[in-house]
Amino acid sequence: MRDGLTVDEIRRHIEALNEMEANRYSEIVDTRGAEPLFPAKEFPNIARYARRMLGHLEMAPRAVVVSENDLVSFGLARLFSALVGPWVTVRVFDNVPAAATFIEMTAASRE
């Protein structure tokens, strides 16, 4: 992700996951170059929307990468992780190699 990120873009991504049946594939979302163009109070609405669209499906784990020194992004990603936690595993990392290791390990444990 780069530049500004809107709620509509997130919703379109969720819809694409549903349409492509990509729920079963793990995903690393690198947000280090993105800035949310919406207030944090929108995260519960986004999580509810994601659950309506994808909650009936088995979800592979996801990893979100945030900038190492950006505590706000880290906090927002953790908030989202907690909101969707009952039906999809989302972990937050500050580097891509750690996120990739998490995805690889969880994929291996599912086999």
Q: Which amino acid is at 45?
A: N
Label residues 13-46 b or e (16+ Cβ within 10 Å = b): bbeebbeeebbeebbebbbeebebebeeeebeeb
pLDDT at residue 2, rounded to an integer: 60
The whole-model pTM stands at 0.88
Tokens of 19: 């349409």
**pLDDT tens string 31-52:** 998 888 999 899 999 999 999 9
pLDDT at residue 41, rounded to an integer: 93
pLDDT at residue 108, rounded to an integer: 83
CATH for the stretch 2-110: 3.90.190
* Annotated domain spans of the chain: 2-110
Q: What is the DSSP string of 6-61?
A: -HHHHHHHHHHHHHTTGGGS-EEEE-TEEEESS-GGGHHHHHHHHHHHHTTS----
pLDDT at residue 102, rounded to an integer: 97
Residue by residue, pLDDT tens for the chain (111 residues) are 567 889 999 999 999 999 999 999 999 999 998 888 999 899 999 999 999 999 999 999 999 999 989 888 899 899 999 999 999 999 999 999 999 999 999 888 877
Interstrand relation of 62-65 and 33-36 (parallel, antiparallel or unpaired): unpaired
pLDDT at residue 1, rounded to an integer: 52
Tokens of 20: 């492509």
Helix (H, G, I), strand (E, B) or coil at 96: helix
